Structure 1
Amino acid sequence: MTEEEHIRHAGPLTYRGRAIPQTTTDQRLLDQRGPTDWVHTDPWRVLRIQSEFVEGFGLLSELPSAVSVFGSARVTPDSDHYALGVTVGTRLARAGYATITGGGPGMMEAANKGAQEAGGMSVGLGIELPFEQTLNPYIDVGMTFRYFFVRKTMFVKYAQAFVVLPGGFGTLDELFEAVTLVQTNKVTRFPVVLVGREFWGGLYEWIESRLLENGLISPADTELLQLTDDPDEVVDIIRKSHLDIAQRNGEVPPGVG
C-alpha cells in the first residue's frame, strides 16, 4: 500500500494510519443508525456555541441604547431591595434606555417590571441551570442560553452601562468581569454603578484598603466604580458619561446636554 493510501483528508482535517475513520463524513451524516454520542462531542458543541452567538446577535442587534442591570435572584417581591430594582428599571425606561437583565426572579424581575410598566424595552437573557428557572413575566424580548460566556458577551456588547443592584456570587462575578473589561480597555470606558451604599460600601472600602493600598490597582481604577442610593442619580451618571464620551469624540458640542 502506498503512502498516499495511508492518508485521508476530510476538509481541513488529515488522518493517517490507524486514525483513519472507517466511514466518511457523508456516511455518518446520512446513516441514522448507531449511537448518538456524537451530539455531545466538543466539535458539535462548537456549533451550538456558534448558534447561540448568532441567535443572540440577531435578537439584540436592533435594541435602542441599553443598560445591563445585575442583581440577586433570591430577593423577594416584598423587600426594599426589590422596590429599589423596580424604581431603577422605571427610571431607565423613562430616560429612553432598554433594560437588560439575566431574566430571572428577584432583582432581575424587579428591574424588568419597572422597565416594562414604564413603557420601556425589557430584555431577559436567561441561563440553563441544574434547577428550574424560567424567564420572569415582565420580559418583552428574551432568550435562554446554554453557555455563561455567550450570555456574558451579550450583556457587554449591547449595553452602554452596567448597573449593579444587591446580589450574591453571580452578581459579583458579573460586576468584576465588567470592571476588568473597562479597566483593560477591552470595552469603551462606560459607567459601572453600584446601587446601595449600605450594601456595597464595605466592598468599596475593601478595594481601597486592600487592593489600592497594596498597589494591586491604580488610583484611577477606583473611579471605575460609582456608588449611589438614588435611582435618579443612576440615570444622571450614565447620561453624563455618555455626554463626556460624545464630546471627546466631537459628536456633541461642549456644554450641550
Structure 2
Amino acid sequence: MTSQRDEHRKGPVTLRGSQRPTTTTDQRLLEKGGAADWVHSDPWRVLRIQSEFVEGFGALAELGPAFSIFGSARVREDHPDYECAREIARGIVEMGYAVITGGGPGIMEAGNRGAKEAGGVSVGLGIELPHEQGMNQYVDLGVDFRYFFARKTMFVKYSSGFIVMPGGFGTFDELFEALCLMQTHKIDMFPVILVGTAYWKGLIDWLSTAVADGRMISPTDVDLMRVVDTPEEALAVLREFTGR
C-alpha cells in the first residue's frame, strides 16, 4: 500500500515513484535560471498562479464565517496541545463558525477533528512540500496549493481571526503575516490569540522590550495579540470580538 509520504501532491496532480519531483513549485518559481530563462517560463507560471487563486476563491466563496487554527505539525494525539486545539475547534463550531487549518497532522489535525466531531465545517488548506504530509482524515473541504503566498491569501481572506497554538517557523510565518497586515491597515483588525503563556512569553517579552524600545514597532502593536492558556479563555476572547 502506498503511504501519504510516498506520494507528492502537485496541485490537483498526485505523483508517485519515479514521477516524484526533487523540488517544489515554489522552489522553481524563486530560483534563478539562465540569462533569458524567465522569458520562456515565468510568464506561463502566472497562469498557474492565477488558477490557484481562482480555485481557492471558488472553493471557499460560500464557506461563511470561519476561524483559523495554526500550530505544529509535529504534535501527537497524546500531547496536551492537541486536545486543547480540538476543544477550541469544537467551541468555534458551537459559536456558528467553520474551522480552517493547514490540513496536515498535529495541531492542524486536532483542529479539523474538533470541528468535524462538533458537526461543523472542517476546512484544510494544504501545501506542496518536499516531504509530503497529506490532508488529514478530518478535513471535509480541502484545497491543495502549490504556492505559499496563494495559500496565505486564503487564510487571511476567509478567516475572522487566528488562534495560534505553539508551533515552528510555519506557525510564526502565519502569525506575523496577520500582524503585519493589521499594523499596516491592509486588513481590518481581527483577534489573534496565542495559546500557551509559557511558550509565547519569550516572544512577547522580546517584542515589548528590544523591538518596541528600539522603536522598530509601536508599543501598542504588541496589543494586537492576546495570550491565553485554556480553550475557555480562547473562546471567551473570540466571543468578545464577535459578540456571540
Segment of structure 1 superposing worse, 88-97 or 157-166: 88-97
Aligned partner of residue 63 in structure 2, secondary structure: coil
User: 1:164 and 1:58 mapped to 2: Cα distance?
Assistant: 26
| TM-score, scaled to structure 1 | 0.77
- CA offset at residue 187 of structure 1? 0.5
What is the alpha-carbon distance in structure 2 between the residues aligned to residue 84 and residue 232 of structure 1?
10
Q: Quick one: distance in 2 between partners of 1:117 and 1:190?
A: 26
Secondary structure class of the residue paired with 1:41: helix
Alignment of 1:172-251 (within 5 A): 172-243=172-243
Partners in 2 of 1:107 and 1:42 — Cα distance?
35
Taking only aligned residues, the RMSD between alpha carbons, in angstroms, comes to 1.6
Corresponding residue for residue 149 of structure 2: 149
Secondary structure, in 3 states, of the residue corresponding to 1:187? coil
Moved over 6 A (4+): none
**Pair 1:51 & 2:51 matched:** yes
Match of 1:137 in 2: 137
Q: What are the superposed Cα offsets for residues 205-242 of structure 1, whole Å, 9 maximum, x if unpaired?
A: 11111111222111211110100012122222123223
Q: Which position in structure 1 is the counterpart of 2:12?
A: none
The answer to whether the 8 Å contact 2:90/2:117 transfers is yes
Structure 1 segment 1-257 matched on structure 2, within 5 A: 41-243=41-243
- d(CA) in 1 for partners of 2:56, 2:45: 16
Deviation at 1:161, TM superposition (A): 0.4
Determine which structure has more spread, i.e. the larger CA radius of gyration: 1
> How high is the sequence identity, in percent, across the aligned residues?
57
Q: Distance in 1 between matches of 2:196 and 2:211?
A: 21
The TM-score, its normalising length taken from structure 2, stands at: 0.81
Structure 2: gaps spanning 5 or more residues: 1-36
Any gaps of 5 or more consecutive residues in structure 1? 1-36, 244-256
Aligned residues of 2:89 and 2:111 also touching (Cα < 8 A): yes
Amino acid at match of 1:46: V
Amino acid at match of 2:169: F
User: Could you tell me how far apart the structure 2 residues matched to 1:235 and 1:188 are?
Assistant: 20
Distance 1:178 1:161 in 2: 9
Q: Tell me if structure 2 keeps the 8 A contact 1:72–1:107.
A: yes
Count the aligned residue pairs.
207
Report which structure shows greater RCO (CA 8 Å, sep ≥6). 2
8 Å CA contact 1:116–1:122 kept in 2: the answer is yes
8 Å CA contact retained: 1:95, 1:235:
no
The answer to whether the Cα contact below 8 Å between 1:190 and 1:242 also exists between their aligned partners in 2 is: no
Match of 2:13 in 1: none
